[in-house]
Amino acid sequence: MFNSVKSIALATGVSLAALSSAAFADEPVSFSAIDVDSSISAAQDANAMEYYPQITDDLKAAVAARVLGSDDASDPTIKIDVRKVSLDGATMLNDGQEFNELEGVVNISSPDESIGARSFPVNIAAYAVDQVVPEGYVAVTPSEGVFYDVMINGFADEVAKQVGNLNTAGSGVSK
78-88 per-position pLDDT tens digit: 999 999 999 98
pLDDT in tens, 21-56: 333 445 778 999 999 999 987 667 899 999 999 999
Instruction: State residue 145's pLDDT score.
Output: 61
Instruction: State residue 126's pLDDT score.
Output: 83
Half-sphere exposure of 149 (CA within 13 A, CB side): 4
Residue scoring higher pLDDT (43 or 161) = 161
The pTM is what? 0.74
Residue scoring higher pLDDT (65 or 167) = 65
What's the start-to-end Cα distance of the chain, in Å? 49
pLDDT in tens, 115-159: 777 899 999 988 766 677 778 887 776 665 678 888 899 999 999
**Residue 13 pLDDT > 50:** no
Which domains are assigned to the chain?
A: 29-173 (3.40.50)
What average pLDDT does range 55-63 have in this prediction?
Answer: 97
Nearest CA to 101 among 89, 92, 114?
89
